[in-house]
Chain A
Amino acid sequence: METITDILNIQEIRADFPILDQEINGKKLVYFDNAATTQKPTPVINAIAHYYNFDNANIHRGIHTLAERATRDFEASRTAIRDFLGASSTEEIIFTSGTTQGINLVASTYGRKFINAGDEIIISGMEHHSNIVPWQMLCEEKGIVLKVIPVSDEGELDLEAFEKLLSEKVKLVSFNHVSNSLGTINPVKTIVDLAHKFGAKVLVDGAQATSHINIDVQALDVDFYVFSAHKLYGPTGMGVLYGKKDILNAMPPYMGGGEMIKEVTFEKTTYNELPYKFEAGTPNIADVVALKTALEYTDKLGRENIAAHENMLLNYATDQLREIEGLRIIGNAKNKISVLSFVIDGIHHQDIGVLLDNQGIAVRTGHHCTQPLMQRFNILGTSRASFAVYNTTEEIDRLVAGLHKTIKMLK
């Protein structure tokens, strides 16, 4: 039974996700791996098919009708994303292959040009490897110092320690809006304001945030914001880099090629305007178009309604899991999205994953690409259940029963 406060009709929503209606190992699928990727609703799947069935052409330079139609839909998506992020201009919306590419783009262009030997970059102790390694590579190349904001036992960033790390030497602060392993929602505006006091730019990894939280890049005053479409009910292989216009203009291009140029001679090439300067090559047109459909889908449901439903699921699951003997939740921040990471005494997470899968329940097990964070908590990894709008309390009951059976089998 859904609670009466739930405005959304979850059964109707589930009907939009055909993948959910199947059996795994003879049991009805329970999909709790949404932090890795969300499933795609029929309108998104149809948008991709529609594009290839009716509108496919290469964008921007074609003079024929299909090229015009493809270009119109591609740029309409950019406008929709501008509105979704609260950006001031479509010139600030750069299409990428995903969050990882967005971070690498900033490291390779802004980082290489504006951060130098002896300067410092600050990241946090709860970053995904994709927000650690690009900075390490840059630091190694240029002799930059990497510093890390510590994480508390509850799984929150230690802001006092962060303030002590800040100085004029710090040129960039990069951290996630929401932790993929812990579910913690970080206080973006507070961190941005502190960093800006020292003239440092701020990049926020929004991969885990965009499907749960309303984003307003201008209100948050972030310099860069990156996210992936596939965690937002959209297609894989496509993402967005938002950057403030003056900063993007000052940055050198990332990749060279078609589309990103104004004029090419063998003596000299001049670069295209924003945002095309950063979009060399034929982009992932179909998936860009389909991301707009994904945004329309979540808008129609109401982003506050989605958040309320997921919050209900998180509270319900947290209460249920706390009752299980020997189970410890990793990540108890006051502000959390619907991610539940846990360990069970004396049981390896891989065994939990295998036995839950045999009961039709998909969770993620391992270090979640956050090995330093696992070391911080002195664990090898966790089991992680993450909820999306189409999940139900009945499914959480299945997880709880599944865990009881799993523990009984292993003990």
Chain B
Amino acid sequence: MIMTINETQDEIIEEFELFDDWADKYEYIIDLGKKLEGMPEEQKTEDNIIKGCQSRVWLNARKENEKLVFEADSEAIIVKGLVHMLIRVLSGHTPQEIYDADLYFIDKIGMSQHLAQTRSNGLASMVKQMKIYALAYQ
């Protein structure tokens, strides 16, 4: 049985409750970044780059059995860890579910500063791009 978007978010929130300090939290995100498979070089095209990030982030989506599957990569490891979590939450759901998703886990795990609209952090741009893919594939 595949988990709903909110079930996955709640699961991530629970995982983060185990961490006492910022370093444990970030080590976990860095580890997630290392574990994200990434994308083959030939798919890291200009079309797939998410604008507005200090580091380059590539995001691609494809439809499989009415569900959207995301692939992403970044040259910065923390960004890669954050995008890994976004993929875990959103990938494998229908475009409508993804479009409607309220991503409350980012705030609950204390990562909302990465949503700030500065040029240095691109999490907001990533979320936006995932929603744009969802809209396009509806």
Residues of A near any B CB (own CB < 8 A): 25, 347-351, 353-355, 358, 365-366, 380-381, 405, 409-410
Asked whether, in the complex, the Cβ of A405 is within 8 Å of the Cβ of B23, the reply is: yes
A351-B77 contact in complex given A358-B26, A409-B30, C-beta closer than 8 Å:
yes
- Nearest residue (CB) in B for A348 is B76
Please indicate the chain B residues that have their CB under 8 angstroms from the CB of A381 in the complex: 54
- Nearest residue (CB) in B for A411 is B30
Asked whether, in the complex, the Cβ of B22 is within 8 Å of the Cβ of A350, the reply is: no
B96 CB–A CB distance under 8 Å: no
Q: Provide the bound-state CA to CA distance between A405 and B23, in Å.
A: 9
Asked whether, in the complex, the Cβ of B54 is within 8 Å of the Cβ of A358, the reply is: no
| Sample of 9 A–B contacts (CB below 8 Å) | A25-B22, A349-B54, A350-B78, A351-B78, A354-B26, A366-B120, A409-B26, A409-B27, A409-B30
Q: How far is the CB of A327 from chain B (nearest CB, A)?
A: 17
B129 CB–A CB distance under 8 Å: no
Asked whether, in the complex, the Cβ of A351 is within 8 Å of the Cβ of B23, the reply is: no
Tally B residues with Cβ within 8 Å of A.
Answer: 14
Asked whether, in the complex, the Cβ of A366 is within 8 Å of the Cβ of B78, the reply is: no
Q: How far is the CB of B12 from chain A (nearest CB, A)?
A: 19
Asked whether, in the complex, the Cβ of B26 is within 8 Å of the Cβ of A350, the reply is: no
Q: Provide the bound-state CA to CA distance between A92 and B60, in Å.
A: 56
Q: How far is the CB of A357 from chain B (nearest CB, A)?
A: 9
Q: How far is the CB of B3 from chain A (nearest CB, A)?
A: 29
B55 CB–A CB distance under 8 Å: yes
B75 CB–A CB distance under 8 Å: yes
Asked whether, in the complex, the Cβ of B55 is within 8 Å of the Cβ of A350, the reply is: yes
Q: Provide the bound-state CA to CA distance between A344 and B126, in Å.
A: 26
B72 CB–A CB distance under 8 Å: no
Q: Provide the bound-state CA to CA distance between A25 and B79, in Å.
A: 19
Please indicate the chain A residues that have their CB under 8 angstroms from the CB of B30 in the complex: 351, 409-410
Please indicate the chain B residues that have their CB under 8 angstroms from the CB of A355 in the complex: 26, 78
Q: How far is the CB of B104 from chain A (nearest CB, A)?
A: 22
Q: Provide the bound-state CA to CA distance between A77 and B55, in Å.
A: 42
Please indicate the chain A residues that have their CB under 8 angstroms from the CB of B120 in the complex: 350, 353, 365-366
Asked whether, in the complex, the Cβ of A348 is within 8 Å of the Cβ of B77, the reply is: yes
